Chain A
Amino acid sequence: MKAIKYILTGIVFGIIMIKSEAVSWYRIQEMFRFQSFLMYGIIGSAVFCGVLGIAIIKKLHLKNNSGNPIQFEPKDKRWRKYLIGGIIFGFGWALTGACPGPVFVLLGHGYAVMGMVIVSALLGTYVYGRLRSYLPQ
């Protein structure tokens, strides 16, 4: 039963991703060419609402559904990995026009080529795990 609420949340997420057109290769190209406001509006308004909501959660010390205080884990302080990893991710984002969530949403939509993206993303993740100790963090 616990699974159902996460599956339902995922279904809503998938529908939002398709109907917002944020999964579209064309929309990602528009964004990286600064030729449309759509993607900036989507990400910007999501972050705007997110900042407000999280500030309220922290201010009012809100609890989650199991009654525990909501906490946010601080991230690793080192910065190189965020920039280098981010740039590599950006290459893949522009090429495929999709990030990890949309890759799966698009597979559900019927784009079978996304199966290849999933397999190679898993391979990329695995190779990162193997090479981790040799990479600047």
Chain B
Amino acid sequence: MIKILSQPWPWYISGPAISLIMFLLIYFGKSFGFSANLTNICAMLGAGKRVKFFDIDWRKQQWNIYFLIGSVAGGWIAAHGLQSPGPIQISNATIKDLIKLNIPFDGKLEPASVFNMHYLFTARGLLIFFGGGFMIGFGTRYAGGCTSGHAISGLSDLQYQSLIAVIGFFLGGLIMTHLFFPIIFN
């Protein structure tokens, strides 16, 4: 069992499994939207005293914080008990494109040459992790949700606003990848 689970999962298992998470939360009377936690944590830290937007009863969202704690634990369990037997297999075209950006493919989940504490405190590292994180937080709240809230929950409920948001996610990602990456990484 552990051996089977440790293999990388094919998309036709992962995708339906993600929708099951959404249905489980719906069954519990909640909704699947991870980025709401960023608002909850701001509210927990007392942001509601200064900014009305955060003046919410975060205790009603406590379940989502538990879900967050579980997802951190899930990442740890997958890393320690369900390691894939081999390197990840990405397309050759992507490997070639990334070499042009000076990011060698190393078969890990994340490129080790970028995802390390030393790189974090370089100009590029700060742009990627601080800038990227800031834009994730700002953009997701501006758009009223992230991949879980819009791409999964919203599209499943056929909400056109979520389709607009998802089109925005992809536009932003395409512009960053094809226009800005060559500038940032060269």
Residues of chain A touching chain B, judged by Cβ–Cβ distance below 8 Å, are 2-3, 5-33, 35-39, 41-51, 53-54, 57, 64-66, 68, 70, 72-77, 79, 81-101, 103-113, 116-130, 132, 135
Contact = CB atoms under 8 A, between A and B. Distances in A.
Contact of B133 (A7, A32, A121, A126): A121
A58 B20 CA distance: 17
Given A21-B88, A42-B11, A129-B54, A100 B70 contact: no
A104 B147 CA distance: 14
Given A43-B147, A43-B152, 12 more contacts: A47-B19, A82-B144, A83-B164, A86-B166, A86-B169, A90-B172, A91-B172, A93-B169, A109-B78, A113-B129, A123-B134, A125-B39
A46 B15 contact: yes
A16 B17 contact: yes
A90 B71 contact: no
Contacts of B62: 3
Contact of B136 (A29, A84, A117): A117
Given A91-B172, A95-B132, A46 B152 contact: yes
A41 B12 contact: yes
Interface of B: 5-29, 31, 34-35, 37-39, 41-42, 45, 47, 51, 53-54, 62-64, 66-79, 82, 84, 88, 90-91, 93-94, 97-98, 105, 109-111, 114-117, 119-120, 125, 127-144, 146-148, 150-159, 161-162, 164-178, 180-181
Nearest to B109: A24
A7 B73 contact: yes
Contacts of A109: 75-76, 78-79, 109
Given A42-B18, A82-B164, A13 B71 contact: yes
Nearest to A117: B133
A93 B136 contact: yes
Contacts, number: 474
A88 B105 contact: no
A120 B147 contact: no
A70 B26 contact: yes
A25 B66 CA distance: 26
Contacts of A75: 144, 154, 159, 161-162
A72 B42 contact: no
A104 B51 contact: no
B70 A129 contact: no
A35 B178 CA distance: 13
A35 B132 contact: no
Contact of A18 (B79, B115, B151, B177): B79
A121 B155 contact: no
Given A3-B66, A125-B39, A83 B136 contact: no
Contacts of A83: 164-165, 167-168, 171
